Amino acid sequence: MPSLILSRRDLDFLLHEWLDVESLTKRPRFTEHSRETFDAVLDLAEQIATDHFAPHNRTADLNEPRMVDGKVEMIPEVKKALTVFTDAGLMAGSFDEEYGGMQLPHTVGQAVFAWFKAANVGTSAYPFLTMGNARLLLAHGSQEQIDTYVRPELEGRWFGTMALSEPQAGSSLADITTRAVPQDDGTYRLTGNKMWISGGDHELTENIVHLVLAKIPGGPPGVKGISLFIVPKFLVNDDGSLGERNDVVLAGLNHKMGYRGTTNTLLNFGEGVHTPGGQAGAVGYLVGEQHRGLTYMFHMMNEARIGVGVGATVLGYTGYLHALEYARTRTQGRPAAAKDPASKPVPIVEHADVRRMLLTAKSYVEGGMALGLYCARLVDEEQTAENEADRARAHLLLDMLTPIAKAWPSQWGPVADDLAIQVHGGYGYTRDYPVEQFYRDNRLNPIHEGTQGIQSLDLLGRKVVMQGGSGLALLGETITAATARAAGTEWAGFAADIDAAVARMGAVTATLWGAGDPAVTLANSHVYLEAAGHLVVAWLWLEQALATGTADSDFHQGKRQAARFFWRWELPRVHHRFDLLESLDRTVLDTPDRWL
């Protein structure tokens, strides 16, 4: 039986038949690699995800981490699974060989890690955060910081966090109040409370490397006064051994609807519970320069946002695969044409409405996977393309696509899980079947790493106007390069519809920014995000359809059918949204609180 976690066949299609990741092996960074090494690591990921991550997904949901005597207790399966993961070298998969990594292309690395998210999103969050943390330090930390913190992270001995939010400041980082006071020895002492810190405390590893946003007194107000600090749970001696306990303590755990396997914490910094060096205050080490913390953090956040998008996709993907399996084995009712009540019930997949749900979900999750891997491919281009112009183009396009890569799957991945429950009927609503957990788990994704609203402001308020609109122009060119390839094929009509939508997006963007009042321009940013997202995924469905060429296996036919579905059923939805935006609709803007 094929896996119900993810479809390896689809990943192979996306990686090889479409994105041609094998061509990357010609580049200096990837010369050690080949189709065989890519296959081997994907095989390994599937096997470990299947054998060590999936089996405790429900157990972790039923037995969430607890705070006992100030420590986090959790089921032992989490540590066992993560040990297998790190022992297999997967923590460092796409990192430099110099740091013990495999130097995999990001595109392959994203596909590899997708297995773990789909199998057990709660457990996978620990390495996910650690890899993001390590990547940020590699980009912006000093060599000493890299040697001290990144190496143990990539060996899986220490895990990392990103500590941004505070109880009074979720999305609004300008309002954080954690203070970092410079000390004579060049370190800082941090004081404040951080909220929503995933992996913020646990006994999985001997140390935890917090990356903390804080303000240095006297700095500029708002986001321009934010600096970034390394705050380890245990201070580290010069020889790399653990020293004193730092003054950062677990203040409480958040109890969530889903995603329960991931400890989510409230952390107190500098309350004097511990006194490193005989002094209260959490010892922190500045990363890079003062007041540039948010810029550095966005380096990690952009990667995290694409990763969250992939997570939302694969939670929907595994829901879809479970629903498909259920629909093929559960018999009930008869086709509309067969009215004889004595005839045998058929598998429910034969009912058109069940197929509607499955095809809808397929178009969302395979579309989302294409989006995630396309963005990962851009990361590879950004870092390893031969000339600077190509790297800059990839960087710009990735910047443009990031809010969509985060938000689109976070909106439609949960819908795939909703449909997966519906396909199961009453059984899907019980805890005897896994789909209800996928649904609960996936509900986090529209919230964390920047809500949908934040992503919509990023897209319309920043990305489409950056560099004089060159990001938007590049997206348009990239899409129309694909639609041009559709000329003379059965996809010409799809391409024409996409072209029309691209043209509208340009016109609507101009109208919005011509409104003369940013409040009016941005009032309906969420609608803009939805339209742009559907347009982008329509383009990626066209790309997939074209990549099937003349292959006529069931797999390829299914790809083409899902592309047709997205063309006929989903793409037309953008026009109502563009109509609304074009009218500079003020309904929301003109609604005072007292009318609600």
Residue 457 near a second copy by CB under 8 A: yes
Q: Name the segment binding a second copy (CB under 8 A); options: 107-115, 272-280, 338-346, 384-392.
A: 338-346
449 is catalytic: yes
Q: In the set 40, 257, 481, 507, which binds a second copy (CB under 8 A)?
A: 257
Beta-sheet pairing, 207-215 with 234-236: unpaired
Structure tokens at 97: 């060989």
Residue 165 near a second copy by CB under 8 A: yes
Residue 425 near a second copy by CB under 8 A: yes
Residue 72 near a second copy by CB under 8 A: no
Give me the least distance between CB of 566 and a second copy, in Å please.
10
Residue 576 near a second copy by CB under 8 A: yes
Residue 509 near a second copy by CB under 8 A: no
Structure tokens at 360: 């809808």
- Active-site residue identified among 449, 530, 543, 570: 449
Structure tokens at 565: 């579905």
Segment (H or E) for 207: strand 207-215
- Contacting a second copy within 522-541 (CB under 8 A): 522-526
User: For a second copy, how many residues bind (rule: CB under 8 A)?
Assistant: 99
Q: What is the distance between the alpha carbons of residues 234 and 246, in angstroms, rounded to a whole number?
A: 5
Q: What is the distance between the alpha carbons of residues 482 and 540, in angstroms, rounded to a whole number?
A: 9
The number of angstroms, rounded, from the C-alpha of 69 to the middle of its chain's C-alpha atoms is 33
How many other CB atoms sit within 10 Å of the CB of residue 180?
31
Helix (H, G, I), strand (E, B) or coil at 363: helix
Q: Which amino acid is at 167?
A: P
23 vs 329 by CB, closer to a second copy: 329
Does residue 313 contact residue 369 with C-beta atoms inside 8 Å? Answer: yes
Residue 453 near a second copy by CB under 8 A: yes
Give me the least distance between CB of 516 and a second copy, in Å please.
13
Does residue 110 contact residue 376 with C-beta atoms inside 8 Å? Answer: yes
Q: In the set 90, 359, 401, 532, which binds a second copy (CB under 8 A)?
A: 359
Does residue 376 contact residue 109 with C-beta atoms inside 8 Å? Answer: yes
Q: In the set 97, 206, 353, 390, which binds a second copy (CB under 8 A)?
A: 353
Stretch 98-117: interaction string toward a second copy, x if CB under 8 A: --------------------
Q: In the set 439, 494, 528, 541, which binds a second copy (CB under 8 A)?
A: 439
Give me the least distance between CB of 264 and a second copy, in Å please.
8
Q: In the set 333, 390, 492, 496, which binds a second copy (CB under 8 A)?
A: 333
Stretch 540-559: interaction string toward a second copy, x if CB under 8 A: --------------x--xx-
Q: What is the distance between the alpha carbons of residues 577 and 591, in angstroms, rounded to a whole number?
A: 19
Does residue 303 contact residue 375 with C-beta atoms inside 8 Å? Answer: no
- Contacting a second copy within 178-217 (CB under 8 A): 195-196
Distance spanning both ends of the chain, measured CA to CA? 52
Would you please indicate which residues are annotated as catalytic (active-site) residues?
A: 449
